[in-house]
A and B are shown apart, each in its own frame.
Chain A
């Protein structure tokens, strides 16, 4: 009885209505709290975006706002928020982006995985009904936009919409840099078998193999994504000049990341930043090797979605900075990875992974609380050990995702 009620809620109309109502309630609650309490619901970043949007609407540069480190596209998109009564416009956009991402998840699951509506709805609910996702977007954080962009990218690639995929890839990288890790996975995936060109003979020589690899579709994707990315950059540079480059891109190279966060490198970077002779660029190496090379090489052709999930997970886990908003970057792929994964097949494994992930964060947050609010110097050893513990937990989880991905063969619905 109850299971049938639940499964009826997972049909598209109730699924999206509940997701929309959840966000609407949070949005209204947030507006109320902001108006009545000195403690604000709205994320500080949202004030940065809206300030930047106000500058843009007055014909000024969004970089006039300190700490605006995003593409001007975001500020342009939020120009309506410059009008006081449309302050929440951006949050509505972010919430709609969540819903659109959820719709894409359902579509990929149904059309490209052949899942039933209820089953697809159940997995999409992990994203759509996720209170963390809904809260982040209604508080006005733009990370949800990345969710819709990466899911649209997967949808376009798996649907063999090469032009759309190239455009979305270029746009996403312009937006937030990190989606460049998906480029090698997509290129690798785009073989004849996946594109439905019919299985051809194995290449005779190395030169043949190279020529075969440089297929028109791969070249098309590369050219479209590169020209979208560079086109947007040139446009923004033309309009806003050096501040665009400094704040959107160079900042991420030169920042010293000394403030406490989940990253395993954090305390090391703080100590290193106090010593001007040191450099920490080698921290990029394990991160890039895993997320751009090894993981896509082994997994992308087997299951592109799981590869993208594992790549993102590796990127966030090995990153020099890591805050909880980054977790959203890989959460979007959960509904695609989980069906058939060992986390669900062996529930104890899934539950252990979830518990450890939560506990690892809780241990770190406890140390962070003592430092931030009580002024206790927990940098060493407490917070350092907590961040390493959380890192190792994440590596263990990443190992499970990779093993699952390596064994995966997603059901193909297209007819050869």
Chain B
């Protein structure tokens, strides 16, 4: 087991390495404005046997969670995904049953993932090496997860410390767990947001703990597109004095200026429009790279976008959209939510910024969506929460950028696989509506539960009445003229003669 804890501060942070207290059991320092990242690398034998057994059936697995709370961060920790739990994996055998995986995922809370049909297939149109299957579930907090995980991973004399560390997950804004069969290693990365925090890293009882106390700064010989970092590194229990460091790397995920807000246009009806308001029209870089803004959506099954509706250029242009680059499959355009098996769908839209950049500082994009029917409820309404999308500018770059050198790199976020390998993602930070979560709530009209007793009887009575009425008219007609041809007076005369 290896651990790496990084405190990452802004350029102007007040950070004096001499104030750090480093001894055999911990690294401690004064409070500083910083993002904190905790990375743990484990090998399969170090895991509980059930989990190791589960992972051996998989080629790769990624669990990603993002908080619905709004938070501040710093480059290079600027990548965003929609709030909630994102699970993607590739099984080794094609007929893999996700049941075991789903059982393990219940550690996060009640997730509906036991049927293979819940997962959607990602294989179309993505970079090689992208995971094959994907599932999303809303998940507001990690509290339950931290609690349930305690007994499984914390044991022995250090169990109390271990549980305390797990409790810290309550304040984390992002959690990634990934496994791949080539390295046979599990990497866990948790992120705490930018805020004033004390530096405190205890030694790990099980392995080596590396600590980095860094801030953004120019490194010698760094190129324009790189992120420069300076600070000190230490290994708890090994280093007496921190060793200064300074380096630069190309980052896949950058922070664009400005922010965006997402809201539903009122009234929502059954075909709601999601409005994205962006505060900046300018691409993040001006160095000739081709950049375009995108939004990547994670839609729970209650709502969906119609790929065919998003194919007409005039229609798209009228909504400030450029193109629907990707819509996951399958998306049934008619079925109610209660017969739809897939968890939902992903959509990547290219946005169309206003041409006249000086005139419009703010601009709004409209995303036409459709609601599925939901089961009746006692109130005639059902509330649904739609997570914010990830909004970013994607700028194309050279294929062989050494993004992997970045010690804080993050891949397989859902959208990155849909772009060329050298693409840089400039993330626009999400701003909630009125300090709420990064979730857009929508009220879905449904039938009132109490209606069923009336509807059953009433419909039967009305159909019965209508049927009997028509039948009576038919019998009246039959009584008058039988089922044959009507004999006119002339016909009758003929017959009588």
Contact = CB atoms under 8 A, between A and B. Distances in A.
A271 B336 contact: no
B265 to A, nearest CB: 11
B477 A66 contact: no
B71 interface: no
Interface in B442-480: 443-448, 451-452, 454-456, 458-459, 462-463, 465-467, 469-474, 476-478, 480
Contact of A381 (B338, B451, B488): B451
A85 B444 CA distance: 42
B96 interface: no
Interface stretch (B33-41, B150-158, B268-276): B268-276
Given A271-B447, A373-B269, A375-B443, A302 B380 contact: no
A377 B473 contact: no
A265 interface: yes
Given A377-B448, A399-B469, A67 B333 contact: yes
A299 B474 CA distance: 9
B470 A193 contact: no
B483 A298 contact: yes
Given A379-B447, A380-B447, A371 B470 contact: no
A273 B339 contact: yes
Contacts of B470: 290, 314, 395, 398-399, 402
A161 B308 CA distance: 44
Given A265-B459, A395-B469, A274 B269 contact: no
B183 interface: no
B334 interface: yes
Interface in A57-73: 66-67
Contact of B485 (A44, A301, A384, A405): A301
Interface residues of A, number: 65
Given A267-B455, A286-B467, A388-B458, A375 B270 contact: yes
Contacts of A67: 333-334
A35 interface: yes
Nearest to B469: A395
A388 B312 contact: no
A351 to B, nearest CB: 20
B469 A396 contact: yes
A252 to B, nearest CB: 13
A145 B366 CA distance: 37
B493 to A, nearest CB: 14
B474 A298 contact: yes
Interface in B307-325: 308, 312, 314-315, 317-319
B459 A388 contact: yes
B375 interface: yes
Given A37-B314, A373-B267, A405-B477, A379 B451 contact: yes
Interface in B140-186: none
B458 A317 contact: no
A376 interface: yes
- With most chain B CB atoms within 10 A of its CB, the pick from A271, A371, A405 is A271
Contacts of A44: 308
Contact of A274 (B375, B380, B471, B473): B375
Contacts of A402: 470, 473-474, 477
B269 A271 contact: no
A247 interface: no
Best-surrounded residue of A259, A314, A373, A399 (most CB of chain B within 10 A): A399
Given A40-B315, A371-B270, A259 B458 contact: no
Interface stretch (A100-108, A222-230, A406-414): A406-414
B4 interface: no
Given A298-B477, A391-B462, A267 B451 contact: yes
Interface string B272-298: 100000000000000000000000000
B370 to A, nearest CB: 11
B473 A399 contact: yes
Contacts of A76: none
Contacts of A297: 483
A374 B269 contact: yes
B333 A40 contact: no
Among A37, A267, A378, the one with the most B-chain Cβ atoms within 10 Å of its Cβ is: A267
Nearest to A394: B466
Contacts of B462: 264, 388, 391-392
A271 B485 contact: no
B484 interface: yes
Contacts of A408: 486
Nearest to B462: A388
B445 A377 contact: yes
Interface string B324-340: 00000000111010110
Contact of B452 (A271, A301, A375): A271
B381 interface: yes
A30 B336 CA distance: 32
Nearest to B264: A375
A95 B254 CA distance: 56
Contact of B381 (A256, A258, A377): A377
B474 A379 contact: no
B408 interface: no
B373 interface: yes
Nearest to A378: B445
Given A38-B317, A264-B459, A371 B445 contact: yes
A267 B376 CA distance: 11
Given A264-B459, A268-B456, A302-B486, A403 B473 contact: yes
Q: In this complex, which of A48, A295, A395 has the most chain B Cβ atoms within 10 angstroms of its Cβ?
A: A395
B481 interface: yes
Contact of B478 (A271, A274, A298, A399): A298
A200 to B, nearest CB: 14
A180 interface: no
B445 A384 contact: no
B273 to A, nearest CB: 11
Contacts of A398: 470, 473
A317 B467 CA distance: 10
B373 A290 contact: no
B308 A47 contact: yes
Contact of A403 (B380, B477, B485, B486): B477
A403 to B, nearest CB: 5
A268 B455 contact: yes
B467 A406 contact: no
A372 interface: yes
B481 A380 contact: no
Contacts of B488: 409
A294 interface: yes
A318 interface: yes
A37 to B, nearest CB: 7
Interface in A341-399: 371-381, 384, 388, 391-392, 394-396, 398-399
Contact of A406 (B312, B459, B478): B478
A132 B484 CA distance: 36
A256 B486 CA distance: 43
Interface of A: 34-38, 40, 44, 47-48, 51, 66-67, 193-194, 256, 258-259, 264-265, 267-268, 270-271, 273-274, 283, 286, 290, 294-295, 297-299, 301-302, 314, 317-318, 371-381, 384, 388, 391-392, 394-396, 398-399, 402-403, 405-409
9 contacts: A273-B339, A274-B338, A298-B474, A302-B484, A374-B267, A377-B380, A379-B446, A380-B455, A406-B474
Given A271-B447, A375-B444, A402-B470, 10 more contacts: A38-B314, A194-B485, A264-B463, A290-B470, A377-B381, A379-B451, A380-B448, A384-B458, A403-B477, A406-B473
Report, nearest first, the 8 A-B pairs whose CB atoms are least far apart. Answer: A406-B477, A38-B318, A377-B380, A395-B466, A380-B451, A409-B486, A377-B445, A379-B447
